């Protein structure tokens, strides 16, 4: 738990530093690149936990805890980079609805952040059954947003 707290605190520091960076996206392409890079990392660390959940990879509690903690931190990062004008055009799969529907988009992001925090908690306890069920709940929160706001 101590570790998770440490990560959450360092996550908060990262957010406050990046809060400055958000305001400094000089061009829409930079916001798109930032959020896509973060989403790629989210997909990667989520996928590593998924391999354990599916039984393709042996459960290593420490490794899963590290992936889940990283995921929970990454899940706090990209959202401001989505709700920026003109970032629905260019090299992106974001639907324009995000810009019309910022509050609902934020709500979907908050749901996912909450699910990833619970996943990190389950992984911290080292209980594979709890990790499995919370992995499913987290995947639902990804899908809920993708179905609505991602174009493929």
Can you give the binding site for ligand HEC, defined by CB under 6 A?
32, 35-36, 39-40, 42-43, 46, 92-94, 105, 108-109, 112, 138, 141-142, 145-146, 149-150
How far apart CA 121 and CA 68 sit, in angstroms, is 8
At residue 95, the 3 state secondary structure works out as: coil
Whether 42 and 75 have beta carbons less than 8 Å apart is answered as yes
**94 or 124: CB nearest ligand HEC:** 94
Q: How far is the CB of 58 from ligand HEC (least distance, A)?
A: 22
Cβ proximity to ligand HEC, 2 vs 103, nearer residue: 103
Which CB, 89 or 125, lies closer to ligand HEC? 89
The nearest distance, CB 93 to ligand HEC, in angstroms, is 4
- Residues 6+ away with beta carbon under 8 Å from 97: 105, 148, 149
- For ligand HEC, which is the closer residue by CB, 106 or 128? 106
């Amino acid at each position: 738990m101590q570790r998770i707290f440490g990560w959450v605190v360092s996550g908060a520091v990262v957010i406050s530093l990046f809060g400055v960076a958000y305001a400094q996206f000089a061009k829409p392409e930079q916001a798109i690149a930032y959020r896509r890079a973060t989403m790629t990392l989210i997909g990667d660390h989520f996928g590593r936990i998924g391999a354990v959940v599916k039984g393709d990879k042996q459960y290593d509690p420490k490794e899963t805890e590290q992936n889940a903690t990283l995921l929970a931190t990454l899940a706090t990062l990209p959202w401001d980079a989505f709700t920026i004008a003109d970032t629905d055009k260019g090299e992106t799969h974001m639907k324009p609805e995000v810009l019309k529907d910022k509050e609902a988009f934020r709500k979907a992001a908050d749901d996912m952040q909450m699910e990833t925090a619970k996943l990190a908690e389950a992984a911290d306890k080292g209980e594979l059954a709890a990790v499995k069920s919370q992995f499913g709940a987290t995947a639902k929160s990804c899908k809920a947003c993708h179905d609505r706001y991602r174009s493929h």
